[in-house]
Chains A and B, each alone.
Chain A
Amino acid sequence: MEIPLQHYLVFAAVLFSIGAFGILTRRNIIGILISIELILNAVNINLVAFSKYTSISPETGQIFAIFIITMAAAAVAVGLAIVISIYRVSKTVFTDEMDLLKW
């Protein structure tokens, strides 16, 4: 018995929604970055599930998932460097306290 495609898609959609909720409600930048990781994971599950169930060349989805993992690693490295740099300047990691560009 094979798990139907829709169950994987629903799982990924639920993970995506939870990640979006985290992005909208977290005050801490690192929390927002963590939620972005959740969303990228949901996308990866979708890609792999589609490549197994519907694709003509089944390795394509996995290649794209590998690319997304690479991009996520790059994004997290740069994002956390920016967070540490901001923390050094303004001693805060909360998004609503960062008003350096406001006047």
Chain B
Amino acid sequence: MNADLSLFGNIAVYAIMGVSVIAAIGVVTLRNLFHAALTLAMVLLGTAAVFISLQAEFLAMVQILIYVGAVMTLIIFAVMLTSRLTDESIPQQNKQGFPAFLVVSLLGAVLIFILLQAPWPIHAPGVHSPVSVTDLAKAMLGNYVFPFEVISVILIAALIGAVTIAKKDS
């Protein structure tokens, strides 16, 4: 597989990034939380496309399956179970909008400034071949087998905890 994207591919990636940023602004500002959840799905799909442009195809698949498939379903269920949201008279934002915007834009500006200044040790393109699923599996069950086991225990504990918390007391 060719390591470099074509010019058209680059333009497509930048367009996807732009749409994702606009959708992300929608996620935090839309009044109706259901619409916010749908725009979050857009951001997650855009992230999957960015993963593909970074040659992480397996991660893009995982992103779509877990985030867009499972997490979005959970969020939409929670939105529907706790309605009383679409009422126009209820404010969805607290009163800290302007100071929060100031602080966050300052943080973002400083972050971007530092990111553009820093001398990242970028190696020449084509030094490594793209990561295949085989490489991922070997790393996950070789070097990273202990974190893998720990995260499995955390996941099962979290799922049992979620069921226990959410079930009605008899």
Contacts and interface: CB of A to CB of B under 8 A. Distances in A.
Contacts of B93: 25-27
Interface in A47-81: 48-49, 51-54, 57-60, 62-63, 65-67, 69-78, 80-81
A14 B46 CA distance: 14
Nearest to B139: A59
Given A62-B56, A67-B151, A3 B165 contact: no
B155 A70 contact: yes
Contacts of A85: 165-166
Contact of A28 (B33, B103, B112, B159): B33
B115 A78 contact: no
Contacts of A9: 115
Contacts of B82: 30, 83-84, 87, 93
Contacts of A88: 168
B62 A69 contact: yes
By size class, the interface of chain A is 35 or more
B74 interface: yes
A1 B4 CA distance: 6
A48 B37 contact: no
B103 to A, nearest CB: 7
Interface of B is mostly: helix
A44 B51 CA distance: 9
A73 B71 CA distance: 6
Contacts of B92: 26-28, 31
Nearest to A67: B151
A24 B96 contact: yes
Contact of A1 (B10, B78, B97, B108): B10
B115 A25 contact: no
Given A70-B155, A78-B165, A34 B70 contact: no
B54 interface: yes
17 contacts: A2-B4, A5-B122, A11-B50, A15-B20, A16-B108, A18-B28, A25-B94, A27-B93, A27-B94, A38-B27, A44-B47, A44-B59, A45-B51, A62-B59, A63-B139, A65-B59, A70-B155
Interface of B: 3-7, 10, 13-14, 17, 20-21, 24-25, 27-28, 33, 36-37, 40, 43-44, 47, 50-51, 53-56, 58-59, 62-63, 66-67, 70-71, 74-75, 77-79, 81-82, 84-85, 91-94, 96-97, 100-101, 103-105, 107-108, 111-112, 115-116, 120-123, 125, 128, 131, 135-136, 139-140, 144, 147, 151, 154-155, 158-159, 161-163, 165-166, 168
